[in-house]
A and B are shown apart, each in its own frame.
Chain A
């Protein structure tokens, strides 16, 4: 349970190779493909961080835009006075603290109420930031000028993705991760074996929110001009939920199965049909939900289950229960 077994070593080796391959993308192309890769890396981090919390708890959070925007604004406000790495740290702290406050206030809410609250939160933060800017800075936007090029942003996102994955892996094998699996199965049992359910959820929400905040901070130089509608864009919240659910939330890497194909697909749609993007993305989304109700991960599991039918049933179930 504590050491890396053979399977985990194999997975780690493959992950290293993939990261290496991904890291060399900017050496091959600095145009369209790099830009697409930045989008994929961004959603990979956002969806994986989102799933850290929402996967085991089944709470759908639409607060991604709030944490992301706070990260972006941390950079926007401090870029002229503070070094960039310090701003990333501030972004993590600010969005982590917000997640903690929201968590304490709302995790007792269940289901739909939590979803609505997080959606409202993102909007509230956006309005407050707009008001503060107009009142104290006298302008709606902020300029972020740095020496960071697209490839630097990509490498930072890739490094952050690695950190998110390692964090997720460490959480999964810790007491906290075990507690979350129990909570996901049965909260009543969780409480009666001594788990402080609310505390466990808040901790994970903070971790998840902090990573989303850092992502927003890394992306700030790409915006160049930061204003509330782009930093706190609610579309980000929805895209993250959609992609993560399309991939699957049962495993750490499952959201990637949604992120990679759908970022590419959405990019193709918006490039080919610029006037009908929203419409086509909506239709695509409905079609995917209809044909893949359990996400890409579910599709894989169905195929595997069909293959296993000839084998004793217990083997397949044991794997699923792992």
Chain B
């Protein structure tokens, strides 16, 4: 196994009673790689993300971050080791201002900033995700894309070693989507290691170095985006479930 693997998922299995949502999945993510985790609805992608971030515990198998086993740790411990995430259904902190939402990501986790430093960093991040100058805006009344931007800024505030984006581009209109894709491309150019669960194929094609495809809890393909998308199993999985 290469030592450059930042994350390795080894025979990860998650069963909810009799339903096996993730069935002995193996894959690795190298430093500074951006990989897409794709598959039809219900194939176990979000469960996989939840296993990595510690929101759910593995039934069997192991997940390592830079060699250290993180599966079995509570979510806050995993966050402190440098895994940050956004959520499929955006989760902002409604009673906190925008800048406080971002600071929330920088105080308790991988980075432990506080006070004026945290505030300055948060302002810079807000600027970066396109919310510059809106630090004091109430967050409850923000538009959907602005809430998503805010959530991304919060995840970035911890300067994560691994960033998990769970359908971060879902629900955006075409022009917002372009902005969103540019933003992620920017992060990749910084050398950030990212796993993105995504249904937006344009984004996968234009952003990802590599793709892992899941179907019914099993990994069915792993390789460059072009190769993976032309594999017959992948085509069947997709067209069978989502042909329209």
Contacts and interface: CB of A to CB of B under 8 A. Distances in A.
Interface of A: 1-2, 175, 178-179, 181-182, 184-186, 188-197, 314, 317-318, 320-322
B158 A181 contact: no
Contact of A1 (B105, B115, B140): B115
B154 interface: yes
B80 interface: yes
B138 A318 contact: yes
Given A1-B119, A2-B115, A321-B139, A192 B84 contact: yes
Contact of B55 (A181, A192, A321): A192
Interface in B65-106: 74-76, 79-80, 84-85, 87, 91, 93-97, 100, 103-105
B26 to A, nearest CB: 25
B23 interface: no
Contact of B95 (A175, A181, A195): A181
A191 B140 contact: no
A195 B76 contact: yes
Interface of B: 53-55, 74-76, 79-80, 84-85, 87, 91, 93-97, 100, 103-105, 107-110, 114-116, 119, 136-141, 154, 158
Given A188-B91, A194-B109, A194-B158, A182 B75 contact: no
Nearest to B53: A192
Contacts of B87: 188-189
B53 A195 contact: no
A180 to B, nearest CB: 12
A1 B121 CA distance: 14
Most chain B CB within 10 A, of A175, A188, A190, A194, is at A194
Nearest to A316: B138
Contacts of A314: 137-138, 141
Contact of A184 (B95, B140, B141): B95
Given A2-B116, A184-B95, 19 more contacts: A1-B115, A178-B103, A178-B104, A179-B108, A182-B93, A191-B54, A191-B75, A193-B104, A193-B154, A194-B80, A195-B76, A195-B108, A196-B76, A318-B137, A320-B95, A321-B96, A321-B139, A321-B140, A322-B97
Given A191-B79, A192-B85, A182 B114 contact: no
8 closest A-B pairs by beta carbon, nearest first, are A194-B109, A194-B79, A194-B108, A185-B93, A191-B75, A317-B138, A194-B80, A195-B108
Contacts of B141: 314, 317
B76 A194 contact: yes
A252 to B, nearest CB: 16
A178 B107 contact: yes
A186 B139 contact: no
Given A2-B116, A185-B96, A191 B76 contact: yes
B138 A181 contact: no
Most A CB within 10 A of own CB, among B54, B55, B76, B154: B76
Given A189-B93, A192-B55, A321-B138, A197 B116 contact: no
A321 B136 CA distance: 9
A321 B96 CA distance: 6
A186 B91 contact: yes
Nearest to B74: A191
B48 to A, nearest CB: 16
A185 B114 CA distance: 20
B68 to A, nearest CB: 16
A181 B54 CA distance: 22
A194 B141 CA distance: 26
Given A182-B96, A192-B75, A195-B76, A175 B84 contact: no
A322 B137 CA distance: 11
Given A175-B108, A194-B110, A317-B141, A186 B84 contact: no
Contacts of B76: 190-192, 194-197
A192 B139 CA distance: 19
A92 to B, nearest CB: 28
Contacts of B105: 193
B66 to A, nearest CB: 17
Contacts of A181: 93, 95-96
A185 B75 contact: no
Nearest to B118: A1
Contacts of A317: 138, 140-141
Nearest to A200: B108
Contacts of A189: 87, 91, 93, 104
A175 B108 CA distance: 8
Nearest to B164: A192
A190 B140 CA distance: 18
Contacts of A179: 107-108
Contacts of B54: 191-192
